[in-house]
Amino acid sequence: MSFLTLDHVSHHYFSAKNYTKALKDVSLSIKEGEFIALLGPSGCGKSTLLSIIAGIVEHTAGQVLLENEPIKPSDKAMGYMLQQDYLFPWKTIIQNVMIGPKIHGTTNAAIRQKAEALLEKVGLPEISESYPGALSGGMRQRVALVRTLLNDPKILLLDEPFSALDYQTKLKLENLVSATLKSYNKTAILVTHDIGEAIAMADRIFVMEANPGMISKIFEVPIELRQEAPFSVRKHPKYQMLFDKVWEELEDKEGTSAELKVVIEEDGTRNENG
């Protein structure tokens, strides 16, 4: 059964004199607990798609359904993990991770206990009273993961969360995030430019093309790879085969990344580039 459904979703950005066709006719269906990776050339609409799913950008056509209901930002069903952790430097780690419950007025001893348990689960016991400035980049991203999970989102939207980290830390975090999300059967959508990361973490990979943004191909990651931790996936013989296929598809779509803008001339006529 589909958990998240996008049905012919399109999106145009409008400004005074032009509009950009960011997404055209995107249809997809994601099951609960699935991990999806979005890959594609710059400007193909990956972030726009994520923002539409989050309900913070309203699509211009089509339908977005979560458990068969139209998605609303007020559902608070989505959790974000971004390239930057956005921890408040003047707040302690526990204050940072409990920011969501605090805003919603639901802080209590049980939530605090859950926060402490989550910090321990991601390998950060006994740092509750530290400040973000004392933590490494990888530790800060683990705190950001705990802050997101504490709100118990239905879907995690991961927008290049490892791209600012050094390579070794990134590999370790991929393992940790993958194991943590699997243990809670969380549905996740990862935007990345890294084919290896997409194969190592995802169940399915959606490759997008630009101009306008569409899904060009869906790759299913073989079950043998999905059973492994991301670090081990990279050593599997089937990894390289899939890497080559995804690479070929991306190479094929690379030329689509120029922006497609429609300019409205003063006399009202439309001019399309691309």
CB of 92 vs ligand ATP, minimal distance in Å = 32
> Is 259 among the residues that bind ligand ATP (CB under 6 A)?
yes
Please say which residue, 120 or 259, places its beta carbon nearer to ligand ATP.
259
CB of 25 vs ligand ATP, minimal distance in Å = 15
DSSP three-state, residue 61: strand
C-alpha distances out from residue 189 to 18, 29, 119, 156, Å = 30, 12, 22, 6
> Is 46 among the residues that bind ligand ATP (CB under 6 A)?
yes
Is-contact 239 199, C-beta < 8 A?
Answer: yes
Please say which residue, 23 or 233, places its beta carbon nearer to ligand ATP.
23
Please say which residue, 42 or 63, places its beta carbon nearer to ligand ATP.
42
Neighbours of 26 (CB within 10 A): 24
Amino acid, res. 272: E
CB of 182 vs ligand ATP, minimal distance in Å = 26
Please say which residue, 48 or 151, places its beta carbon nearer to ligand ATP.
48
Strands (E), 96-178: 155-159
| Binding segment (CB under 6 A) for ligand ATP, from list 37-45, 99-107, 166-174, 243-251 | 37-45
Give the closest residue to 199 by CA, choosing from 228, 179, 170.
Answer: 228
Q: How many residues does the chain have?
A: 274
Q: Token pair of 91, please?
A: 């707040």
Q: Kindly tell me which residue out of 22, 78, 135, 144 binds ligand ATP, with binding defined by CB under 6 A.
A: 22
| Binding segment (CB under 6 A) for ligand ATP, from list 24-32, 36-44, 237-245, 248-256 | 36-44
> Is 42 among the residues that bind ligand ATP (CB under 6 A)?
yes
Give the closest residue to 100 by CA, choosing from 119, 78, 117.
Answer: 78
> Is 48 among the residues that bind ligand ATP (CB under 6 A)?
yes
> Is 24 among the residues that bind ligand ATP (CB under 6 A)?
no
Rounded (10°) CA dihedral 113, 119, 124, 127: -50
Q: Token pair of 242, please?
A: 């899939």
Q: Kindly tell me which residue out of 44, 115, 149, 215 binds ligand ATP, with binding defined by CB under 6 A.
A: 44
Alpha-helical regions (H) of 165-268: 167-183, 195-201, 223-226, 230-233, 237-253
CB of 227 vs ligand ATP, minimal distance in Å = 30
Number of residues counted as binding ligand ATP (CB under 6 A): 13
Residues forming contacts to ligand ATP in the complex (CB under 6 A) are 13, 20, 22, 40, 42-48, 213, 259
